[in-house]
Structures are given as C-alpha cells and as structure tokens.
Amino acid sequence: MKFSGRLGILVYLATLTATGSAQIVNSAHFEVHSLNQNFSEQVNQILEAGYSKASAYFQIDLSQKVQVFVTANPAEFDSLVGPNLPDWSIACAIPEQNLIVLKSPDRYHYRKELSEVLYHELAHIFLGKALGSLNLPLWMNEGLAVWFSEKWGWEEKILVARAVLTGSIFPLGRIDSLDYFRASKAQLAYALSFLAVSFLETQYGQGAFLKLVNGIGAGQDLNQAFLSTTGLDYLSFQKEFQGMVRKRYNWIAIFSDSIVLWTGLALLFVLLYFVKKIRTKKILQRWEREEKGLAPRDSDSY
C-alpha cells in the first residue's frame, strides 16, 4: 500500500504537470492539489479549521503537511489508494503517508456535506499519528471519524431503529468487514460505530475514547484498555452497548421522546391548518360558482 501510494502520487503529479492544469493551495498544515482552484481553497479552509479541533482533542501536532489530492476519475483514485476500496467510497485517508484522497465532486455525488467528509478523513490522519503502527478495531477507527465530524440526525436514528425492529443489528466486531459491505449495510455500520464511540464518551466520561487509545498505545491489549477505562472487558462492553442500542433505538422509545412528540404535534397542527385552508378555499370557490349560476345550490334538485 505504501509503495503503490507513493508511485500513484508521482503519476498523478506528472499528469497534472503535463496537462498544465495543476492547481495547488498551500497553508500551514495542508497542500491541496486539484484541477479546481476554488475547490482547493474551500478544502484547505475547512481542513485548517478542523486541524485546530483535532489537535486540541488528540493533544498532538502533525510534524509534516498533509497532502490532499482531488482525483478526476477512478483510475487516479485507485492509483493513489489502491484498487480494493468499495465503489461507494468517496474519500480515503492514509495516515502513514500523510495523505488524503478525494473523488472530485464535479464527477461524483457527495451524499454528505464537504466539511463532514474532510473532518472524517482528518480524524483518521490524527488517530493514525496517535497510534503509530498499532491498529484498532475498525469500529473504533470509523466511529471516532464519524463522531469527530459531528454527523448524527434523524436519518441515522431511523436507520438504527429499523435495524433493531428487523433484528439486523450486528456485533461491533463484524464491522471489520466494512470494505465488503454493500452501501446500505455500510451506512448501518458507520451509525453503530458512531454510537459506540458516543456511548463511551457519555457513559464513561469525556475523553474515554482517547484514554482507550492511549492505553493501547502504551502496550495494553483491548481487554486491558477497556477494563482500565470502563471496568468491563472488551466482550462485556460490546454486550452492554448492544443492550443500550436495543433499548434506546426502538420505535416506541423514539416516538415517546418529548422532542419528537412536540415536533409531531406541531406538524399535525400545520397539516390541519393547511387542510382547513384548502377546504375553505373550495367552499368559497363553490359559493362563487353558485352565485354565477354555474353550480346547483344545496337546496336545488338535480
């Protein structure tokens, strides 16, 4: 992966130089390469804002600039990240190469906001730097990235609730096969990963995830790191987490939530208002037609 990535960078840069279309935007921590100067500046601005947040959370700074490449076609993307990513991938971070690679939004539809995509990949870079050559379970890696990008809304809640209702929730360990998931299953995997990291932070205190990472970085295995952070071994934590998901993310729990209840009532009143307005308009139109002799009155026989 390292070798193919570096070779891909050289090929990519050579292509841009040969076509005379290279656009590079530099800042204190990033160097963005793309065919679109405005897009490069936008990417750079978002990443610099994210850098401050990530540096404060991980309590580290990056020693080198992060290279960001915006690819125009699948061949370019694969040359930089390798051919094994699923088709639904729109970005990839390679921490050991200090590299973020994006598919160009000019050719690919971003289902998420650009800031969310960039914060997600930046979190991978910082987490990789914090761990060095050590690896985490994929749910921790992806969950931290989603949590860092602060994306969690009704679409995700409904996705998890539907999985609970249909019995299709799967263990966190299954997420290690994420690259082989179809897009819909991958969305659920990302949602569960986010929930697990969020659960760590809310149930066991702010900074619990970072404590886990630091423990692993200091040589603890997963069981030791989880025991020192949560008081539970790794398997017991997963069982506790699954129990929380099944309890909190079912339809009864969601629709009994006070915010949902009042939001639903407000929408109902709005709906009733428009129904009444439409009915009133129809009645007025009918009276107008009756006055013009275009429709029978209620007492007329026909």
Within this chain, do residues 183 and 226 fall inside the same structural domain, yes or no? yes
Within this chain, do residues 109 and 17 fall inside the same structural domain, yes or no? yes
Q: What is the pLDDT of residue 260?
A: 44
Residue 142 forms part of a structural domain? no
Within this chain, do residues 215 and 275 fall inside the same structural domain, yes or no? no
Q: Which of 144, 163, 145 lies closest to 155, judged by CA?
A: 163
Q: What is the pLDDT of residue 1?
A: 33
Q: What is the pLDDT of residue 144?
A: 94
Per-residue pLDDT tens over the stretch 105-135: 888 878 788 999 999 999 999 999 998 888 8
Compute the Cα dihedral for 139, 141, 145, 148 and give only its sign. Answer: positive
- How far apart CA 192 and CA 233 sit, in angstroms, is 19
Within this chain, do residues 215 and 185 fall inside the same structural domain, yes or no? yes
* CB-based contacts of 28, cutoff 8 Å, min separation 6: 48
113: left (phi over 0), alpha (psi -120 to 50) or beta: beta
Within this chain, do residues 103 and 178 fall inside the same structural domain, yes or no? no
Residue 207 forms part of a structural domain? yes
Q: Which of 93, 68, 70, 98 lies closest to 82, judged by CA?
A: 93
Task: List, run by run, the mean pLDDT of 10-residue segments along the chain (302 residues).
Answer: 44 50 85 90 95 93 93 86 83 93 86 90 94 88 90 77 86 82 84 93 93 92 95 95 88 50 49 66 60 46 34
Within this chain, do residues 166 and 249 fall inside the same structural domain, yes or no? yes
Within this chain, do residues 64 and 102 fall inside the same structural domain, yes or no? yes
CB 94 within 8 A of CB 1: yes
Give me the CATH number covering residue 101: 3.40.30.160
Compute the Cα dihedral for 101, 121, 243, 166 and give only its sign. Answer: negative
Within this chain, do residues 165 and 64 fall inside the same structural domain, yes or no? no
Q: How far apart are the first and last CA of the chain?
A: 83
Q: What is the CA radius of gyration of the chain?
A: 26
pTM of this structure: 0.76
Per-residue pLDDT tens over the stretch 218-257: 999 999 999 999 999 999 999 999 999 988 887 654 554 4
| Residue 71 belongs to domain spanning | 1-133
Total of domains in the chain:
3
Within this chain, do residues 227 and 127 fall inside the same structural domain, yes or no? no
Q: What is the pLDDT of residue 135?
A: 85
Compute the Cα dihedral for 293, 298, 300, 302 and give only its sign. Answer: positive
Within this chain, do residues 115 and 191 fall inside the same structural domain, yes or no? no
Residue 250 forms part of a structural domain? yes
